[in-house]
Amino acid sequence: NITEVPPVPAHNLQLSIDERLQALVYRELNNAVAFNKAESGSAVLVDVNTGEVLAMANSPSYNPNNLSGTPKEAMRNRTITDVFEPGSTVKPMVVMTALQRGVVRENSVLNTIPYLINGHEIKDVARYSELTLTGVLQ
């Protein structure tokens, strides 16, 4: 028993995705995944002044207009559904915040020896015992 529900006026929704930037991010992400022989990759381009998402891409991807033969696994948006370690991408924000809050100074030297948290080793790819802030960001 299906009944008709009359439409209700609502607010407009305006996306912030920039078509030109979206195409560029998608192309460059695919190139990077191929070049690095990676299983997958994700990218989000954000306007730092407004927080608007200007582009979001995943590789591999799929054509939503032609789903025949597309595995269900490929249809998820990895950028917003998958959990992953941010790795070094978060370092600039951590360093900036630490400088702003006075936790470190520009000439600080940091202990970068690996350590365990809940049985999981936290380490840098390069094994240095100490790094300057500049060294951390390089």
Catalytic residues: 88
Q: What residues contact residue 126 under an 8 Å CB cut-off, 6+ apart?
A: none
**Identity of the amino acid at 47:** D
How much of the chain is in helix, strand and coil states, percent to nearest 5? 30, 20, 50
Give the number of other CB atoms < 10 A from CB of residue 29. 21
Helix (H) or strand (E) holding 41: strand 41-46
